[in-house]
Structure 1
Amino acid sequence: MQQIYLDNSSTTRVCPEAADAVLKAMTETFGNPSSLHALGFAAQQALTTARAQVAAALSAKPEEITFTSGGTESNNLAVFGAAEARRKRGSRIVTTAMEHPSVLLPMQELEKQGFEVVYLKPDQTGNISTQQLFEAVNQDTILVSMMAVNNEVGSILPIDDARAAIDRAKAPALLHVDAVQAFGKLNLRPGRRGVDLMTVSSHKIHGPKGAGALFVRKGVHIAARTFGGGQERNLRPGTEAMPALCGFGAACAALPDTEAELQAIARLNRCLREKLAALPEVMVNSGDDALPYVLNLSAGRVKAQTMLNFLSTRGIYVSSGSACAKGARSHVLTALGLPHERIDTALRVSFCRYNTEEDCAAFAQVLQEGLRTLQKAD
């Protein structure tokens, strides 16, 4: 049976370079980087290399990279750490209503602690306007947290406008960007764009799970959330997960040219959109200006989980939204104001460099079969 994987926004297949680095870290440079012997020094050197590889992918300095266990931990560290560090300078935080749960749930906790959180509402294609940002950010704002690319519909958010809004208001705010879905797909360069904190993750770029990083711009201070042995400059202490981090670094080093890959993925996106246009029951929820790696669609009257099961039995793997939602109704599509019937039938197709136009054709064909079979059964 064919196996066509189109769920790359949830996780990606580990690339050979990353797998090799993981194996080497487990079997050769397996010492503790804090140990003062030859194996410890070798491990420390491997960690230094991995940090430099991640930094290079962000056009950042190695000392600006704090390793974590992944995007969720990085987002929590950024949001809580920034709020605690700046709480004496204001109480307003600005974010959007379609952030990942690892940002939204910390925001809800900060509201319980007395912070005022403003949730900007996107339009029907997932865009946030400059005007919304300029109206929301004031002199009392201490944090603006906004994803670079939405994980469900692929909309690209205006992080440069967020920086401009902070500067215009003369706010003491730090700018945090959750770039988990943008990393490796767009040229981010956080330090050059006035971004103070940026979250990235390994398993979205063909690296192993269990590794991520938080970019902390030089000179920026945030409060630590955990305390221990002093690793990661006391911001994230604990023995480093060396195999995963070495794999993360190798995946960063193996990233292809960003612009060339973006053009290739855009061709896949156009190919699939053309095939979906021939299916009158299908409605595309992603905007024309969304990052082409993600295409969200609603499939007739068939519930998302039912269609997912149908596709899966035929070797085609997509999702109904964020993997972290575990089947719950999408808060992102709800924030976009889509009707419940479109939300409940929504699927997310997400591409990577290993996908082909043949994958798009196979998905569209089986989706059509599913609509014909399942709507008739309904």
Structure 2
Amino acid sequence: MIYLDNSATTKPDPAVLQSFQQVSNDFFANPSSVHQFGAKAEQLLLKAKEQAAQLLGVQKEEIIFTSGGTEGNNIAIKGIALEHQQRGKHIITSQVEHPSVIEACKSLEKLGFEITYLPVDENGVVVVNDLVNSIRKDTILISIMHVNNEIGSIQPIKEIGEIAKAYPKLFFHVDYIQGIGKVPLDLEDSGIDLCTISGHKIHGLKGTGILYVKKRTILFPLFHGGNQEQSIRSGTENLAGAVTIVKALRLIKEHERKDISNLYNLQQQLRNELELTEGVEINTPNKAAPHILNFSVPGMKPEVIIHMLGEQDIFISTKSACSSKQLDESKVLLACGYSNDRAASALRISISYETTKNEIDTFLQALQKAIKQFKEVLE
């Protein structure tokens, strides 16, 4: 099998699965229990927080364990909106965010909030001046993703963070789910108040995540209960899940230090070959995250290509897995100014540190053959 859909989810690392099994067997007590067994579970949870904080360069009190990216984004966006609505009801985001951000913002519009959806340029990147000009006295939150999940474009997070620092009553949230482990991002003294990470995108387990919440950032909790996770995320802690996402985070950071050049080389190989393939138009900008390459074959249905490749145990995708079953144009590509035909025929390759050159060679041969067969049928 050749798996090239790593932006949708990744294969869990064997070490991650082993740690989940061990913690589930040996530390299954409730960390909130007062007995000694519960205290051991609580100690392990605190250790996991310390390790996560160290890996991210933040303080352990700023780590909240969640069930993943969607929950993290919702806690951040709705938590700020509901807690600080007396200051204002204006939020700034972009037109190319993940559905968990776009839909969270749309839900707030029903509650009387006003959302500015910033446009992007042809590379899928927001224009910083547009963002600056959108800030108002009643703006309480900016939410911008770091790396786009469909085309891999990188947003100017550092610049936006510096701008956010000039507005002490405004919060800045970053969806770091696609960037973690591939494109470095400093959190400390960055102007970032909230940052979302998902475990299953970095060879961890589904149902695990981290939300960085900068000290003195107050959120309205979406869950009320036993006041776990500093009352931001009540509910019995998923201790095994917390340990595994920290394990996955450590492993992906090691790969980033040692193997990042290999990712860029594979992406360049894909780009070079696809540029020579008749009928293919590349949508990913030259300056992008190294693990994503998005391209279109106008006039061809992407589902047909995906199924033809799938019959050979080669797996790629169309757009975000959270919207891939909606058979319409990519909203991200439309926002970049591409045609409806190009936006409706987009395909996404997303590689991992485990992807090999031979796998890319095999995929490219199969793709070129599939395109040729499709065109012969049309003729």
> Normalised by the size of structure 1, how large is the TM-score?
0.96
Match in the other structure for 2:127:
129
Distance in 2 (alpha carbons) for counterparts of 1:295 and 1:271: 11
CA contact (8 A) 1:275 1:361 kept: no
Letter in 1 for 2:216: G
Structure 2 residue runs without a partner (length 5+): none
The amino acid across from 2:350 in the alignment is S
Q: How does 1:333-352 map to 2 (within 5 A)?
A: 333-352=333-352
Does 2:19 match 1:21?
A: yes
SS of the equivalent of 2:211 reads strand
Q: How does 1:99-248 map to 2 (within 5 A)?
A: 99-168=97-166, 170=167, 172-248=169-245
Q: CA deviation at 1:373?
A: 0.9
SS at match of 2:54: helix
2:164, 2:191 within 8 Å by CA — same for their partners in 1? no
CA offset digits 1:335-373 (Å, max 9, x no partner)? 122112112211111111100111211111111011011
Q: State the SS of the aligned residue for 2:200.
A: coil
Counterpart residue identity of residue 51, structure 2: Q
Q: SS where residue 196 of structure 2 aligns?
A: strand
Structure 2 residue identity aligned to 1:305: E
CA distance in 1 between partners of 2:364 and 2:336 (Å) = 25
- Structure 1 residues 268 and 148, CA gap change in structure 2 (3 angstroms): same
Q: Distance in 1 between matches of 2:44 and 2:146?
A: 30
Paired residue type of 1:351: I
Gaps of 5+ in 1: none
Residues 292-346 of structure 1, C-alpha deviations (whole Å, 9 max, x = no match)? 1110011242211111111111111111011000322322122122112112211
2:374 corresponds in structure 1 to: 374
Structure 2 residue corresponding to 1:63, chosen from 61, 64, 68: 61
Supply the distance in 2 between the matched residues of 1:94 and 1:333 (Cα, whole angstroms).
20
Q: Choose 266-275 or 84-93, whichever is displaced more.
A: 84-93
Deviation at 1:250, TM superposition (A): 1.1
Contact 1:57/1:184, CA 8 A, preserved across alignment: no
Aligned counterpart for 1:84 among listed residues 77, 82, 85: 82
| 1:65-115 deviation digits (Å, cap 9, x = unpaired) | 111110000000000011112211122211000111111011111112222
Instruction: State how far apart, in whole Å, the 2-side matches of 1:184 and 1:45 are.
Output: 27
Stretch of structure 1 that moved more, 319-328 or 197-206? 319-328
Residue type of the alignment partner of 1:372:
K
Which residue identity is paired with 1:225?
L
Q: Which of 32, 35, 43 is the equivalent residue of 2:30?
A: 32
Q: After superposing the two structures, state which structure 1 stretch, 44-53 or 68-77, moved more.
A: 44-53
Question: What secondary structure, in the 3-state scheme, does the structure 2 residue paired with 1:323 have?
Answer: coil
SS in 2 for 1:215: strand
CA distance in 2, matches of 1:301, 1:41: 61
For residues 313 and 257 of structure 1, the distance between their equivalents in structure 2, rounded to whole angstroms, comes to 31
CA contact 1:305–1:327 (8 Å) conserved in 2: no
* Aligned-residue RMSD, C-alpha: 1.4
| Greater mean deviation of Cα atoms: 187-196 or 214-223 | 187-196
Task: Verify: 1:324 aligned to 2:315, yes or no.
Answer: no
Per-residue deviation, 1:270: 0.5
Q: Which residue type is aligned with residue 205 of structure 1?
A: I
Q: Supply the distance in 1 between the matched residues of 2:297 and 2:258 (Cα, whole angstroms).
A: 31
Q: What TM-score does the superposition give when structure 2 sets the normalisation length? A: 0.95
SS in 2 for 1:236: coil
Q: Which one-letter code corresponds to 1:149 in the other structure? A: V
State the Cα distance separating 1:185 from its structure 2 match. 1.6
CA distance in 1, matches of 2:183, 2:46: 25
Cα shift at 1:290: 1.0
- 1:253 and 2:227 matched: no
What letter is aligned with 1:310? Answer: M
Q: Give distance in 1, aligned partners of 2:315 and 2:17.
A: 22
Q: Secondary structure at the match of 1:87?
A: coil
